[in-house]
Amino acid sequence: MSYKRISYEVKDKTAWVGFGFNCNKSMTVLDEQSLIELREIVERLHVESSKLEGVIFHSHKDRCFLAGADINLIDSMKTESEAADGAEQGQQIFNRIEDLSIPTVAAVHGVCVGGGTELVLSCKTIIASDDDATAFGLPEVKLGLIPGFGGTYRMPKRIGLPAALDLILTGKMVKGYKAKKLGLADETYPKENLLKMAPSFFTKSKKKESLKDQLGHFAADNFLSKKIIFQKARENVLSKTKGFYQAPLKILDVMEAGMMKGRSSYLSSESQAFGELCVGEQSKNLRHIFFMVEEAKKYPGPEASGSSPKLKRGAVLGAGTMGGGIAWLMADNGMAPLMKDLNPDGLVLGLKQSSKNFAESLKRRKMTQDEFERKQRSITCQLDNEGFDKVDLLIEAVVENMDIKKKVFADTEKYVRADTLLTSNTSSLSVEEMSKALEKPERFAGLHFFNPVHRMPLVEIITHSKVSPETLKALYEWVLKVKKTPVIVKDGPGFLVNRILMPYLNEAGFLLEEGVSVKDLDDACLNFGMPMGPCRLLDEIGIDVGVKVAHILHEGLGDRAMASNFSQKMVDKKWLGKISNIGFYKYDEKGKPAGDNEELSSLLPGKSKKMSETDIQMRVFLPMINEASIILSEGIVDRASTVDLGLIFGIGFPPFRGGLLKYADGEGLDRILDALDKYASDVNEHRYKASDFLKDLVQNKKKFYEI
Ligand SMILES: NC(=O)c1ccc[n+]([C@@H]2O[C@H](COP(=O)([O-])OP(=O)(O)OC[C@H]3O[C@@H](n4cnc5c(N)ncnc54)[C@H](O)[C@@H]3O)[C@@H](O)[C@H]2O)c1
């Protein structure tokens, strides 16, 4: 019998079961067909076991063993029982693998996550390649799910409860060497030797646990220790997720209640929990984000007819906060960047910034000392334009001033090649206007990174009327290559993210002037799931920077983008936020929060106003939804998912809500419109004036995700 997705071959009494067979995609997943085939193969192994010395599970792919269950398949499950049933069927197959009487060896090279890791856990032996491509993990929690194919049952048995909880609750990946250290993999080999070594494990007895490991497992294995471990894990989850995420808590419930259960009873509660979570709103929203991210891996811009330039060597102009961060990114990606500033002090600052980022990787052991030194040394600091003719991508990050930027570009263009891409990291200036300084504007675009560069995953690629599709495509692919998420945005005040952030920050000032306290305001936004309330965020950005950007947006967008005078009053007092150790809150000399700014009350009205949490949330989020609808109507971005991707990765809009516009669709656009109308008459007719685009959607009974 031959199979379409999985190869099956018996050689010298060894059965070889290979994933990624006949598959032209880089990642192999467990879809409906491969699950059917796997079931048949496992049954066949049971029948033929007396003639076999053992079975080896392996992959035909270069960098993937098995990337888990097909998320489209998970997404197609519409009811709780259908999803629970689906999980149960997977569990049964893996149980049958576990129950094989012959030796079973998983020889893992490449990505082996989710259902992949659950499959290898049902094998008696796991060996792994020591290649960088090899990674194990149970990332289901990131999709709002519990591993449903027996992962929560088998992982603790294999590596002990504390380590298993760490993997399952965070969804983190581990490489081959770490998997061996954890006891997940029995041995690691160079990938060339992996399959050669696999049969030797048919007769090898398991390594004895070291005394230290035995003691560790013994300590974690009694009822009381387990209770304490679960209690600590629950506290940890609650402090990290603030209780917003259901999946990790559900996982803990299943694992703790299952401590004394046998396999079938345990697995039945795991599959039930999978069913419940799978059809819940949170998991749907998190899967929606997964699909958006996958979609964003394909260049969505205008078709490029010519070939796009390869961007190998980089340069940064301006070695400040952003320039230093961008130079780090380039160096980390092997682009040996040139970093130019006007003065040596700037260069020192830029180098400090990049070395701080590298040091963090070193500390987290994501980099060796050698790599650290090599990468840091690959940044060339200079005050002139030497070597600019070798540069493929230049990113300008000098002071935010149109005249200076135009002058810098006109001058730089003389020193670079005709095919060098020139970009600006401006956060608020018109890219269209800036392009006028260049002789060849088609190779120019905005490339807006967020601060801090090493943490923030989003990059806005800003277009203008003369940019070529080849330039856009090359920039898009480069941003993906450096592992950031690109969004293409048409030029306009505040581009995408800062423009929608504007009402969040502006309304804060108005609410404070009305008498709402800083605490009530920030708490209401935190309780919605935002990573920071608007007052804390303004402190981070810098109150003076906020005031400057607010002016630009007011000028560009009119009265709906009006800001209160509150921030200006703070600037007058030199309360600039974290940078001056005092803003809405106080900070110590290391920038750590050090309590409230009690003197803020001197700028506040005497009266205080108690406003409900929902009211505060409506006041800040409604105008954001409205602004996003105007952005769509102006074609600044062309679809709702780009807005949502931008806000989730640009300002940390709560992922469990699926994005701002997904949230709005869920609430009902008719209700959003009614609420905007109410606030337009009760609070301010400009700031809450519903857009025609939103009214049209409501009239045509459409959602943002249906346009
Ligand atoms: N800081 C942020 O949070 C942030 C976020 C996104 C984008 N941006 C944008 O990035 C750019 C830089 O911001 P920053 O915060 O890093 O500024 P910064 O003040 O920290 O650094 C600017 C650097 O540019 C140098 N410089 C000035 N003129 C120059 C020239 N002609 N040639 C070479 N170097 C020159 C200065 O000496 C200074 O070292 C601005 O356009 C800003 O709007 C900033």
* C-beta of 451 in contact with ligand 1 (< 6 A): yes
Beta bridge partners of 631: none
Q: Is the pLDDT confidence value at 522 over 80?
A: yes
Beta bridge partners of 46: none
Instruction: Given the residues 460, 470, 507, 627, select the one marked as catalytic.
Output: 460
* C-beta of 83 in contact with ligand 1 (< 6 A): no
Q: Is the pLDDT confidence value at 298 over 90?
A: yes
Phi, psi (deg, nearest 5) at residue 291: -65, -35
Q: Is the pLDDT confidence value at 569 over 80?
A: yes
Contact 447, 395 (CB under 8 A): yes
Q: In what order do the strands lie in the sheet with 173-175?
A: 64-66, 111-113, 135-137, 173-175
Using the mean position of ligand 1's atoms as its centre, give its distance from the Cα of residue 316 in Å: 10
Lowest mean pLDDT among 145-149, 349-353, 424-428, 653-657: 349-353
Higher pLDDT, 126 or 605: 126
CA atoms lying within 13 Å on the CB side of residue 607: 7
Lowest mean pLDDT among 251-255, 358-362, 571-575, 593-597: 358-362
Distance CA 533, CA 527 (A): 9
Distance CA 508, CA 533 (A): 9
Contact 119, 287 (CB under 8 A): no
Instruction: Determine the pLDDT at residue 605.
Output: 78
Q: Is residue 460 among the annotated active site residues?
A: yes
Instruction: Determine the pLDDT at residue 360.
Output: 87
Q: Is the pLDDT confidence value at 678 over 80?
A: yes
Global pTM?
Answer: 0.92
* C-beta of 317 in contact with ligand 1 (< 6 A): yes
Using the mean position of ligand 1's atoms as its centre, give its distance from the Cα of residue 263 in Å: 60
Instruction: Determine the pLDDT at residue 215.
Output: 65
Percent of the chain with pLDDT over 70: 98
The angle at the Cα of 332, spanning 330 to 335, to the nearest 5 degrees, equals 45
Question: CATH for 497-706?
Answer: 1.10.1040.50
Phi, psi (deg, nearest 5) at residue 384: -120, -165
pLDDT digits (tens, 9 = 90+) for 615-655: 999 999 999 999 999 999 999 999 999 999 999 999 999 99
Instruction: Determine the pLDDT at residue 183.
Output: 96
Instruction: Determine the pLDDT at residue 374.
Output: 94
* C-beta of 112 in contact with ligand 1 (< 6 A): no
Instruction: Determine the pLDDT at residue 218.
Output: 65
Mean pLDDT of 295-320: 93
Instruction: Determine the pLDDT at residue 525.
Output: 98
Buried b (16+ CB within 10 A) or exposed e, 605-621: eeeeeebeeeebebbbb
Lowest mean pLDDT among 21-25, 630-634, 703-707: 21-25
Nearest CA to ligand 1 atom 33: 341
Instruction: Determine the pLDDT at residue 364.
Output: 82
* C-beta of 498 in contact with ligand 1 (< 6 A): no
* Helices and strands counted in the chain (H then E): 29, 20
**Closest approach atom of ligand 1 to CA 349:** 39
- Integer-rounded Cα radius of gyration of the chain: 28
Non-local (6+) Cβ contacts of 196 within 8 A are none
**pLDDT band of 308, cuts 50, 70, 90:** confident
Mean pLDDT of 411-436: 97
Strand spans (E) along 302-392: 314-317, 338-340, 380-382
pLDDT digits (tens, 9 = 90+) for 681-696: 999 999 999 999 999 9
* C-beta of 546 in contact with ligand 1 (< 6 A): no
**Closest approach atom of ligand 1 to CA 321:** 16
Mean pLDDT of 82-104: 98
Looking up tokens 């958006």 gives 292
Of 147, 144, 143, 168, nearest to 156 by C-alpha is 168
Mutate to test the pocket of ligand 1, among 398, 412, 453 (most ligand atoms within 8 A of CB): 398
**Closest approach atom of ligand 1 to CA 347:** 39
In three state form, how does the secondary structure of 392-454 look?
CEEEECCCCCHHHHHHHHHHHCCCCCCCCEEEECCCCCCHHHHHCCCCCHHHEEEEEECCCCC
Using the mean position of ligand 1's atoms as its centre, give its distance from the Cα of residue 412 in Å: 16
Instruction: Determine the pLDDT at residue 664.
Output: 98
- Pairing state of beta strands 421-424 and 444-449? parallel
Strand spans (E) along 51-170: 54-59, 64-66, 104-108, 111-113, 125-129, 135-137
pLDDT digits (tens, 9 = 90+) for 141-170: 999 999 999 999 999 999 999 999 999 999
Q: Where are the domains of the chain?
A: 7-279, 314-490, 497-706
Compute CA distances 585 → 527, 530, 576, whole Å: 19, 18, 10
Instruction: Determine the pLDDT at residue 385.
Output: 97
User: Considering only the top CATH level, what class is 7-279?
Assistant: alpha beta
DSSP assignment string, 146-160: ---SSHHHHHHHHH-
pLDDT digits (tens, 9 = 90+) for 396-410: 999 999 999 999 999
Mean pLDDT of the chain: 95
Residue 329 identity: L
Judge: domain 314-490, CATH 3.40.190.10.
no
Higher pLDDT, 77 or 209: 77
Mean pLDDT of 560-586: 96
Distance CA 62, CA 129 (A): 12
Of 168, 172, 182, nearest to 255 by C-alpha is 168
Mutate to test the pocket of ligand 1, among 427, 431, 544 (most ligand atoms within 8 A of CB): 427
3-state percent breakdown (helix, strand, coil) of the chain, nearest 5: 55, 15, 35
User: Which two three-digit tokens encode residue 52?
Assistant: 């076999």
